[in-house]
Amino acid sequence: MKMGLYIYLVFFSCTTLFASGSLNQKVGEKCDSAQLFVCFSTVTTAIDDFENIWALSFKGSILSMYKSTDLANSFENPLTIASNIRVDNHGDGRPQLKIDGSHIYITYVKKTNRKYQGKLYIRVFDIDSNFLSKEVQVSDEKNPVSQRFQSLNIVDNKAYLFWLDKRSKLPNSKKPLSSLYHAVFDRKTMTMSKNVLIKENTCQCCRISVARQGRSFYVFYRDLKSGSIRDFTLTSFNMDSKKINHIELFKDQWKIKGCPHHGGALSIENGVIHSVRFSGNPKSLGLKYQSIKNGQTLREMPFGDNNKQAAHPFVVARNKSVFIVYKEFDGVWTKILLLESHNQGLSFSEPVVIAKSTGHNDHPFLISKGAKLYLSWQRYKEGLLFKEIKSNQLNILRFNLSTFGLLSNHLNSQTCIFWSIYCSECLKKLNGLKGSDLNATHFINMDEYDDLQLVKDKIVEFELTGQKNYLIEPLEQQKIRYMFDKTWRGELPKSYKIGGNND
C-alpha cells in the first residue's frame, strides 16, 4: 500500500484533523451507505513509523485522508484535504502521499476546464501538531498549462517531484508537448525550486516511477520515440550535479497512436535496478521484468498470461529478494498474483494468487516498511484490501538457461538432481537422501506447472523444504538437457555435477 496523509491547515490557525470513532468497512454495502471505501475507485496508502495506515481518496468533489491504527481494519473519521474540486483520480494518475517521520507530504492534480490538463499542488501535514499547511503550486509558470502523473520522493525535509508537463510546444505548432519535469519543494520554507526540464517529448498518459540510489534518482517512464513508438526510458538525475543521463535499454517497439495508460514500476537495491513494464507490440506482447546494473541488462523475463489480460505490475526489491504483483482477469475474477525471487531476480517462483475480486478494482501496490511487506489493493465492491505478504518458506524457483549459467560458473562443485513426482525411482532416491549433507545440491523437478502443489507436497514429505528447489522452465527444457548431457533424452532420475572443476 502506498501513501498516507497528515495535513495542516495553514489558515492562521491550527485545525484538529481527526474526530473520534471509526468506519468499519463491510462487503457488499450500497454506495450510499457511508461504509468506508466501498464504491471508491482509488485509494492510496502509506505507513508511518508507528504502523498507522494513512489512506488518501477522492469521491464526489472531496479529497480526504483517513487514519487507521489497526492495519486498515477500521479508520477514523476523515480529514478533508480539499473540497469543491475535481482531481486526477484513476489507476495511473492519482493523489499521492509519502510519510517522512512526523510529516506527511500530499500532492494532487486539480483538473482544469481544458481536457487532459491539470495543475499540481503540494501540501504538508504535521502529525504531531495536527497542522495542515497551505497548498503550494508546483509549477513556476505564472499561468501553468498542465502538470500530471506526478511522483513524490522525500529526502532531508525536501520533496523531490517529477511529473509530465505540457508547457512545451513543437516548432510551428500550438499543440502542447508532454515533457518530463522536476522540481524540489522545501518543507521548512514552504517554497518550490525552479522547474527543470529532464526530457522533452514523452508519452503523456502513463504513470512514472522513481527510485533513489545514493544521491541519484532513477526515473522510469514511457517515452515517445520516432514513428509513434512508445517504449520506456530510464533516466538518472543527480541531486547535486544535476547531471542527466538517459538509459535506452527497453526495445519493445510498441507503435501506437493513442494512450497506453500503462506505466511501469521501479525498485533499486544493492546497485541493481529492478523494473516491470507492459508492451502492446504483438511481437513482444505482455508484461516484462528487467534488471539492470551499471547500464547493462542482467536479466529480462516475460511473465503473466496474455490470455487473461495480465496488467499493471508493481515491484519491490528488499533484502536481496524481489517481489512482483500484477493483475489477471479470467472473465469473472480479477486476481492479484505474486512472484518472488530470492537471488536478486536471477530466477522467480511460480505465480501465486494472493487476492481476487469480481468487481471493478484499482491497480495493486506493494508497500515495504521495516521487516514487513504489504499489498494495498482497492476493490470497488469490497473496499480496501491491505494485507501483509509473507514469503513462501517453500520457495520453488524457475530453472532456466540463466540458472544453468549461474551454476556452471560457480567456484565450487554443485550437484543437480532431476526428478518427477511420476517417477517411482525418483521418489525412492529423494526419500533416501533424508539426513544427508545437501548444502551444494539443487533439486530440479521436471513436471508441469499444473502439478506445482503435488510437487510441494513431495518436497515437504521428503524433508527438502530448506533446500534449493526448482521447477524446470518448459520452453527451455530440451536446451537445458542438452547443456547437461548431449545424450540425455529425458529419462529420470538423473544427477549431474556442475561448476568447480567439473565439465
Check residue 452 and give its pLDDT: 84
- For the domain that residue 38 is a member of, what is the CATH number? 2.130.10.10
- Shared domain for 114 and 225, answered yes or no, is yes
Please list the ranges in the chain whose pLDDT falls under 70: 1-35, 392-394, 502-503
CB environment 108-122: b (16+ within 10 A), e (fewer): bbbbeeeeebbbbbb
- Domain housing 214: 22-390
pLDDT at 376: 96
Q: Residue 221: name the closest of 264, 165, 192 by CA.
A: 264
Q: Look at residues 390, 414, 437 and tell me which one is the last residue of a structural domain.
A: 390
**How far is it, in rounded angstroms, from Cα 10 to Cα 124?**
10
Strand partners, 369: 372
Separation of alpha carbons 345 and 289, rounded Å: 9
Q: Do both 102 and 73 map to the same domain?
A: yes
Q: Does residue 308 sit in the same domain as residue 442?
A: no
Same domain, 283 and 345: yes
Same domain, residue pair 407 and 289: no
Contacts 24+ apart (CB under 8 A), 434-437: 434/462, 434/463
420 and 300 part of one domain: no
> Which pLDDT score is estimated for 394?
67
- Out of 368, 390, 412, a domain closes at 390
Residue 1 lies in a domain: no
| One domain, residues 366 and 471 | no
Q: Give SS3 for 226.
A: helix
Instruction: Tell me the one-letter amino acid at 301.
Output: M
Tell me, what's the pLDDT at 11?
Answer: 31
User: Is residue 8 one of the residues assigned to a domain?
Assistant: no
pLDDT value for 390: 76
Is 291 a member of any domain?
yes
Whether residues 402 and 329 share a domain: the answer is no
Domain boundary among the residues 326, 355, 390 is at 390
pTM comes to 0.75
Length of the chain, in residues:
503
Total domains in the chain come to 2
254 and 111 assigned to the same domain = yes
Same-domain check for residues 426 and 489:
yes
Q: Hunting for cell 548444502 — which residue is that?
A: 439
User: Does the residue 15 lie in any domain?
Assistant: no
Q: Residue 466's domain is classified under what CATH number?
A: 3.40.30.10
Query: What is the distance between the alpha carbons of residues 145 and 176, in angstroms, rounded to a whole number?
Result: 9
Q: Is 53 helix (H, G, I), strand (E, B) or coil?
A: strand
What pLDDT is attached to residue 35? 55
- Burial tier of 415 (Cβ tally within 10 Å: 0-12, 13-18, 19+): middle
CA distance 216 to 288: 24
d(CA 399, CA 421): 17
Phi, psi values for residue 436, rounded to 5°: -80, 160
Q: Are residue 330 and residue 432 in the same domain, yes or no?
A: no
Q: Are residues 372 and 432 in the same domain?
A: no
Q: Which three cell numbers mark 282?
A: 504483438
Rounded CA-CA distance 1/368 in Å is: 8
CA distance 63 to 232: 31
- pLDDT for the residue 25: 37
